[in-house]
A and B are shown apart, each in its own frame.
Chain A
Amino acid sequence: MSKKSFRQAINEALAQEMERDPRVVIMGEDIAGGLGAPGEDDAWGGVLGVTKGLMGKFGRERVLDTPITESGFIGAAAGAALRGLRPVAELMFVDFMGVCFDQIFNQAAKFRYMFGGKATTPLVIRTMFGAGFRAASQHSQCLYPIFTHIPGLKVVIPSSPYEAKGLLIQAIRDDDPVVFFEHKVMYDVEEEVPDEPYAIPFGEARFVREGDDVTIVAFGRMVSLASQAAEALAKEGVSCSVIDPRTTSPLDLPTILESVRETGRLVLVDEASPRCNLATDISAQVAEQAFDALKAPIRMVSPPHTPVPFAPALEDEFVPNAEKIAAAVRSTMRAPSKQAAE
Chain B
Amino acid sequence: MAAILPLTMPKFGLAMTEGMVAAWQKQPGESIRQGEEIADIETSKITSAYESPVSGKLRRQVLEAGVMAPVGALIGVVADDDVPEADVDAFVADFQSRFAASQAEAGAAAAGPERVQTAQGTAQFLVAGPAEAPVILFIHGFGGDLNNWMFLQPALAETFRTIALDLPGHGGSTKQVPAPDAAGLAGFVLATMDALGISAAHLVGHSMGGAVALAMAAASGERVLSLSLISPAGLGPEINRGYIEGFIEARRGKHLTPLLQSLFADPTLVGQDMVETVLRYKRLDGVEAALRAIAAAQFPEGRQATSLRAVLAEPRTPAQVIWGRRDAIIPAAHAENLPAHVRVTLFDEAGHMAQMERPADTAERIASLAGGGI
Point out residues on A near B: beta carbons under 8 Å.
1-3, 7, 43-45, 48-49, 52, 162, 166, 184, 187-188, 194-201, 204, 207, 209-210
Q: Mark B216-258, 1 if CB is under 8 A from A, else 0.
A: 0000000000000000000000000000000000011100000
Contact present for B272 and A200 (CB under 8 Å): no
Contact present for A196 and B14 (CB under 8 Å): no
Q: Is B98 an interface position by the 8 A CB rule?
A: no
Point out residues on B near A: beta carbons under 8 Å.
13-15, 44-45, 106, 109-110, 112-113, 172, 175, 251-253, 272, 280, 283-285
- The minimal Cβ–Cβ distance linking B321 to chain A, given in whole angstroms, is 33
Contact present for A187 and B14 (CB under 8 Å): yes
Contact present for A201 and B14 (CB under 8 Å): no
Residues of B within 8 A of A207 (CB): 253, 272
Apart from the given pairs A49-B14, A166-B283, A194-B284, 15 other A-B contacts in the complex at a CB distance below 8 Å: A3-B106, A3-B109, A3-B110, A7-B15, A44-B45, A48-B13, A162-B280, A187-B14, A195-B172, A196-B175, A196-B285, A199-B285, A200-B283, A201-B251, A207-B272
Q: CB < 8 Å: which of A1, A3, A43, A198 contacts B45?
A: A43
Contact present for B283 and A199 (CB under 8 Å): yes
Residues of A within 8 A of B285 (CB): 196-199
Which residue of chain A has the shortest Cβ distance to B253 in the bound complex? A207
Distance between Cα atoms of A198 and B286 in the complex (Å):
9
Distance between Cα atoms of A201 and B112 in the complex (Å):
29
Contacts A/B (CB < 8 Å), 10 sampled: A1-B112, A1-B172, A2-B110, A49-B14, A49-B15, A162-B280, A184-B14, A196-B285, A198-B283, A207-B253
Q: CB < 8 Å: which of B15, B112, B253, B284 contacts A198?
A: B284
Most chain A CB neighbours (cut-off 10 Å) among B45, B106, B113, B283: B283
Known: A194-B280, A199-B283, A199-B285. A209 touches B15 (CB 8 A): no
Residues of B within 8 A of A200 (CB): 283
Which residue of chain B has the shortest Cβ distance to A205 in the bound complex? B252
Residues of B within 8 A of A199 (CB): 283, 285
Distance between Cα atoms of A292 and B255 in the complex (Å):
26
Distance between Cα atoms of A188 and B272 in the complex (Å):
26
Residues of B within 8 A of A201 (CB): 251
- The minimal Cβ–Cβ distance linking A303 to chain B, given in whole angstroms, is 22
Distance between Cα atoms of A43 and B42 in the complex (Å):
14
Distance between Cα atoms of A211 and B112 in the complex (Å):
32
Residues of A within 8 A of B172 (CB): 1, 195-196
- The minimal Cβ–Cβ distance linking B111 to chain A, given in whole angstroms, is 11
Distance between Cα atoms of A269 and B284 in the complex (Å):
30
Which residue of chain A has the shortest Cβ distance to B175 in the bound complex? A196
Distance between Cα atoms of A207 and B276 in the complex (Å):
9
Residues of A within 8 A of B14 (CB): 7, 48-49, 184, 187-188
Residues of A within 8 A of B272 (CB): 207, 209-210
Distance between Cα atoms of A298 and B175 in the complex (Å):
46
Contact present for A48 and B15 (CB under 8 Å): yes
Residues of B within 8 A of A187 (CB): 14-15
Residues of A within 8 A of B283 (CB): 166, 198-200
- The minimal Cβ–Cβ distance linking A325 to chain B, given in whole angstroms, is 20
Contact present for A196 and B45 (CB under 8 Å): no
Residues of B within 8 A of A194 (CB): 280, 284
Distance between Cα atoms of A45 and B110 in the complex (Å):
27
Contact present for A204 and B252 (CB under 8 Å): yes
- The minimal Cβ–Cβ distance linking A308 to chain B, given in whole angstroms, is 18
Which residue of chain A has the shortest Cβ distance to B107 in the bound complex? A3
Residues of A within 8 A of B44 (CB): 43
